[in-house]
């Protein structure tokens, strides 16, 4: 039983919708946030009476403020805030434009920054709270060169999560900041990427949104700070950085 009020941005489909449905099945109350009204209503209907939908744009600070106020007015508190908004971009690093970089940072970083900053006063007043930021394996190892700006934005998000945790827990140790890093997920992510790109549902080694959601729900319960959704992912990251700087020339 999860007796928590959870706000989920990017909740109209994919990982966000799957997390919402699983949380509601376990007794949580959820606030679903996204721009697409019809899709959001569909998710709310599947979740049942403990779900409350708010149409809002998480890349607008004023909209995020409105969500915070509405969620507290509806349920009396917020226990967990999940920053799940994100968009891919398909462009080689040498071809990136100012607009490409500005847009990917607006969507993938500023939406999370606004969520963390605007919910923080409520969490501090309660002395408790939990932010979960959804990152990516591409924020750990930038192995998809055509996702250059996306990878960079997720590296930024990872660092931002760590420094928020370090700052806030100096005075409010009951507030946690967690990072979840999925790999390829079978959603509309690839098809919705800026400048197009491969369909995520056709790439090898993928996970379903439901599999990733189960990991995120576990993070809601355990408050673990840094989690991968695939077995062996942490070892892969460690090996990648252990090999950086190695001299490829044979000895002698």
Q: Is residue 249 part of a domain?
A: no
Give me the number of domains the chain comprises.
Answer: 1
In a 10 Å sphere around its CB, with 0-12 CB exposed, 13-18 middle and 19+ buried, how is residue 172 labelled?
Answer: middle
Q: What does pTM read for this prediction?
A: 0.93
Q: Is residue 149 part of a domain?
A: yes
Residue 250 lies in a domain: no
Query: Domain for residue 33, yes or no?
Result: yes
69-108 residue pLDDT tens: 999 999 999 999 999 999 999 999 999 999 999 999 999 9
Domain that holds residue 235: 5-243
User: Would you give the end-to-end CA distance of the chain in angstroms?
Assistant: 62
Q: Is 166 a member of any domain?
A: yes
* For the chain, percent of residues with pLDDT exceeding 70: 93
In CATH, what number is assigned to the domain containing residue 37?
3.40.50.720
The catalytic position among 114, 150, 228, 241 is: 150
Rounded CA-CA distance 144/136 in Å is 12
Are the C-beta atoms of 43 and 23 separated by less than 8 Å? Answer: no
Instruction: Kindly state whether residue 155 falls inside one of the protein's structural domains.
Output: yes
Does the structure show a pLDDT above 90 at 196? no
pLDDT band with cut points at 50, 70 and 90 for residue 1: confident
Residue 150 is among the residues annotated as catalytic for this protein: yes
């Amino acid at each position: 039983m999860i007796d928590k009020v959870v706000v989920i941005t990017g909740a109209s489909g994919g990982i966000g919708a799957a997390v919402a449905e699983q949380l509601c099945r376990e007794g949580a109350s959820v606030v679903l946030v996204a721009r697409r009204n019809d899709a959001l209503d569909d998710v709310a209907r599947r979740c049942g009476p403990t779900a409350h939908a708010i149409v809002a744009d998480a890349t607008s600070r004023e909209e995020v403020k409105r969500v915070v106020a509405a969620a507290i007015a509806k349920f009396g508190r917020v226990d967990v805030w999940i920053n799940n908004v994100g968009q891919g971009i398909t462009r080689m690093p040498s071809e990136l434009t100012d607009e490409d970089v500005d847009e990917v940072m607006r969507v993938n970083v500023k939406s999370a920054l606004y969520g963390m900053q605007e919910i923080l006063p409520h969490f501090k007043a309660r002395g408790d709270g939990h932010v979960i930021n959804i990152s990516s394996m591409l924020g750990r190892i930038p192995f998809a060169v055509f996702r250059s700006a996306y990878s960079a934005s997720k590296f930024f998000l990872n660092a931002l999560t760590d420094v928020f945790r370090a700052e806030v827990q100096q005075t409010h140790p009951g507030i946690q900041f967690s990072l979840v890093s999925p790999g390829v997920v079978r959603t509309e992510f690839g098809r919705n990427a800026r400048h197009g790109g491969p369909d995520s549902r056709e790439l090898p080694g993928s996970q379903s949104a439901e599999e990733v959601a189960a990991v995120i729900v576990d993070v809601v319960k355990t408050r673990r700070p840094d989690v991968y959704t695939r077995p062996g992912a942490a070892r892969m990251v460690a090996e990648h950085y252990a090999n950086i700087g190695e001299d490829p020339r044979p000895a002698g």
